[in-house]
Amino acid sequence: MRKAAVIMGSTSDLPIAEKAIQTLKEYGIETEVRVLSAHRCPNEAREFASSARESGFSCIIALAGMAAHLAGAMAANTTLPVIGVPCSGAKLDGMDALLSTVQMPSGIPVATVAVDGAKNAAILAVQIMAVTDAELAAKLQKARDEGTAAVLKADAEVRERYKN
């Protein structure tokens, strides 16, 4: 399956979510984007998560700030992989969201990326799908190779500039 959900707790998370959405599209992953709050519409969030497998999703990326219970709420209601993206906020700069996302009870895991790390969440989702998809695995390797080439080019330029 090549289908991921990007769920955010509110539209204030959309600028961060767009990084995941764009990355998933670059890899050709069908993406459904929703706003579902673990606190404001818990029944709808639970229904989405509990039906996600039957709806053809491979994984769920959940973005939330502050209390950041969305990823945990998704994980509690599905056996699909859930990737949490804690979002920075005005008060604690994302530390509250990070701790809320990463501190899950045993048996209900949430893979957690860096605060505002939506691009890495999307790449992790692609890596999960690439376990059984050689085409995706090849695309991931190509991206890694391009990253390596860019760093080595920068290294050569810096070394040339600062050689004795």
- 79, 94: one domain: yes
| Closest residue by Cα to residue 37 from 61, 66, 12, 69 | 69
The closest of 128, 125, 66 to 101, measured between CA atoms, is: 66
The tens digit of pLDDT for each residue in 123-149 reads 999 999 999 999 999 999 999 999 999
Task: Give the pLDDT confidence of 40-75 residue by residue, as tens digits.
Answer: 999 999 999 999 999 999 999 999 998 889 999 999
Are residues 111 and 156 both part of a single domain? no
Residue (of 111, 113, 61) closest to 88 by Cα position: 113
32 & 50 share domain = yes
Percent of the chain with pLDDT over 70: 99
Whether 95 and 163 map to the same domain: the answer is: no
Q: How far apart are CA 33 and CA 102, in angstroms?
A: 22
| Residue 30, phi then psi, degrees to nearest 5 | -60, 130
Give the domain CATH number at 40.
3.40.50.1970
At 1-20, the pLDDT tens digits run: 799 999 999 999 999 999 99
Number of Cβ within a 10 Å radius of residue 94: 21
User: What range defines the domain where residue 157 resides?
Assistant: 134-164
Same domain, 157 and 113: no
Task: Look at the chain and report how many structural domains it folds into.
Answer: 2
